[in-house]
């Protein structure tokens, strides 16, 4: 029987333990707040008394914590137990902090495989679940059969930062979309229209946005932005209408003004007759 340690029993960690147990994996767990282990222990997980004891229990140690600082807080006292362990950290953080963590673990004889899971807790282990991974390929591949139970593995490369890079990029799309939903509903509600009425059209708008992805990448790679069907000036006028309508409605302006600012600056830089994709020249500004 394969055995795994899982540290961090928030909604995600608990969902992972359940999935691993369902697939016949022996799971040792530890969590700062002990009561959060109750459900998974009732299902067959073994509760370790300390992080060091948890780390000793299996070669594969999966972390599901708020961020990488929590990893240091938890593993600081794990001492020699870390030697020879593979730490698969599925906590969110930046690529740079991930690389620093790889070095910190290496100093203690452990290997980091960094990960970022792209679904919420109810979908862990389901068909829609996928996880970005990066780090040493051979180490990842050795543990891939167990990790596969959590979600479809998407291995990105040896650089430890890659998983968080793709994770934060995908979440940029996700989080700004979620804020845009609320912004749109707030605009409606402020004017007395029911948010529910927008839902079918919001779904269409989200789908329409996705149809531009391939063309967008082609434009930014070529750094040419053909404006024959729509221009930054036309779209910028719309961005301004959104700001004005939001101001009239008395709702928050931060998001509409951020979008308008992209258009204003692209137009000021001479891209008014180019496609909206010319905003790339503003958004992707180099240091
Ligand atoms: P929670 O914030 O609910 O749980 C985080 C875990 O981290 C808990 O076990 C918590 O312990 C522990 N923790 C945090 N700080 C410390 C610390 N300083 N010392 C010890 N333990 C600490 O998170 P989730 O389960 O929701 O998420 C886990 C990770 O998965 C996050 O990085 C999140 O971004 C990511 N994620 C979450 C999704 C979601 O829908 N929830 C979806 C996809 C990814 P304690 O119980 O004691 O507080």
User: Which CATH number belongs to the domain containing residue 226 in this structure?
Assistant: 1.10.1040.10
| Interface ipTM above 0.90 | yes
Shared domain for 12 and 148, answered yes or no, is yes
pLDDT at site 1: 73
Could you tell me if 154 and 219 lie in one domain? no
Indicate if 182 and 210 belong to the same structural domain.
Answer: yes
Q: Select from 118, 136, 159 the last residue of a domain.
A: 159
Convert 159-192 to b/e letters by CB count within 10 Å (16 or more is b): ebbbbbbbbeeeeeeeeeeeebbebbbbbbeeee
CATH code for the domain in which residue 61 is found: 3.40.50.720
Burial class (CB within 10 angstroms; exposed 0-12, middle 13-18, buried 19+) of 84: exposed
Same domain for 123 and 151: yes
Domain housing 146: 3-159
Atom of ligand 1 nearest to the CA of 9: 9
Q: What is the mean pLDDT of the chain?
A: 97
239 and 178 in one domain?
A: yes
Interval 225-239: pLDDT, tens: 999 999 999 999 999
pLDDT band at 79 (very low <50, low <70, confident <90, very high): confident
pLDDT digits 0-9 by tens, 150-201: 999 999 999 999 999 999 999 999 999 999 999 999 999 999 999 999 999 9
Cα–Cα distance measured from residue 131 to residue 283, given in angstroms and rounded to the nearest whole number: 27
Residues 128 and 178 in one domain: no
Model pLDDT, residue 38: 98
Indicate if 41 and 65 belong to the same structural domain: yes
Q: Locate the ligand 1 atom nearest the alpha carbon of residue 31 and give its number.
A: 9
The residue-averaged pLDDT of 247-276 equals 98
Are 128 and 241 members of one domain?
Answer: no
Q: Contact, 151 vs 129, CB < 8 A?
A: yes
Asked whether residue 262 carries a pLDDT value surpassing 80, the answer given is yes
Beta-carbon neighbour count of residue 146 at 10 Å? Answer: 18
pLDDT single digits (tens) 31-51: 999 999 999 999 999 999 999
Answer yes or no: are the C-beta atoms of 29 and 41 closer than 8 Å: yes
Mean pLDDT of 96-122: 97
Helices 232-249 and 161-190 cross at an angle (nearest 10°) of 60
Secondary structure (3-state) at 213: helix
Summarised one tens digit per residue, pLDDT across range 207-219 is 999 999 999 999 9
**73/69 Cα distance (integer angstroms):** 6
Domain boundary among 159, 184, 207: 159
Residue among 11, 14, 15, 65 to mutate when testing ligand 1 (max atoms within 8 A of CB): 65
Q: What is the pLDDT of residue 287?
A: 55
The answer to whether the CB of 121 is under 6 A from ligand 1 is yes
State residue 7's pLDDT score.
98
Say how many domains are in the chain: 2
pLDDT at 15 over 60: yes
Residues 142, 32: one domain?
Answer: yes
Same domain as 177, residue 76: no
> How does pLDDT run across 111-129, given as a tens digit for each residue?
999 999 999 999 999 999 9
* Domain finish residue from 109, 126, 159: 159
pTM over 0.80: yes
Ligand 1 atom closest to residue 93's alpha carbon, by position in its atom list? 32
Is any ligand 1 atom within 6 A of the Cβ of residue 171?
A: no
Compute the average pLDDT of residues 246-264: 98
Residues 182 and 199 in one domain: yes
Do 183 and 256 sit in the same domain of this protein?
yes
Q: How far is the CA of 120 from the centre of ligand 1 (A)?
A: 12
């Amino acid at each position: 029987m394969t055995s795994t340690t899982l540290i961090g029993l928030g909604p995600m960690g608990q969902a992972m333990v359940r999935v691993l147990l369902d697939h016949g994996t022996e799971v040792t767990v530890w969590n700062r707040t002990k009561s959060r282990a109750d459900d998974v222990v009732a299902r067959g997980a073994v509760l370790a008394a300390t992080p060091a004891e948890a780390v000793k229990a299996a070669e594969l140690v999966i972390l599901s914590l708020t961020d990488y600082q929590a990893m240091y807080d938890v593993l600081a006292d794990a001492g020699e137990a870390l030697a020879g362990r593979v730490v698969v950290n599925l906590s969110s953080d930046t690529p740079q902090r991930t690389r620093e963590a790889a070095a910190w673990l290496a100093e203690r004889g452990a290997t980091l495989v960094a990960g970022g899971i792209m679904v919420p807790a109810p979908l862990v282990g389901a068909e829609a679940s996928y996880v970005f991974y990066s780090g040493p390929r051979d180490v990842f591949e050795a543990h891939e059969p167990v990790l596969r139970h959590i979600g479809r593995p998407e291995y990105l490369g040896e650089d430890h930062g890659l998983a968080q890079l793709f994770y934060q990029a995908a979440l940029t799309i996700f989080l700004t979309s979620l804020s845009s939903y609320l912004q749109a509903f707030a605009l409606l509600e402020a004017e007395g229209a029911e948010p529910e009425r927008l839902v079918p059209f919001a779904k269409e708008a989200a789908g329409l946005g996705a149809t531009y992805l391939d063309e967008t990448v082609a434009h930014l790679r070529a750094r040419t932005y053909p404006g024959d069907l729509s221009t930054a000036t036309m779209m910028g006028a719309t961005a301004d209408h959104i700001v004005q309508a939001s101001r009239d409605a008395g709702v928050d302006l931060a998001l509409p003004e951020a979008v308008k600012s992209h258009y204003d600056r692209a137009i000021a830089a001479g891209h008014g007759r180019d496609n909206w994709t010319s905003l790339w020249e503003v958004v992707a500004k180099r240091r």
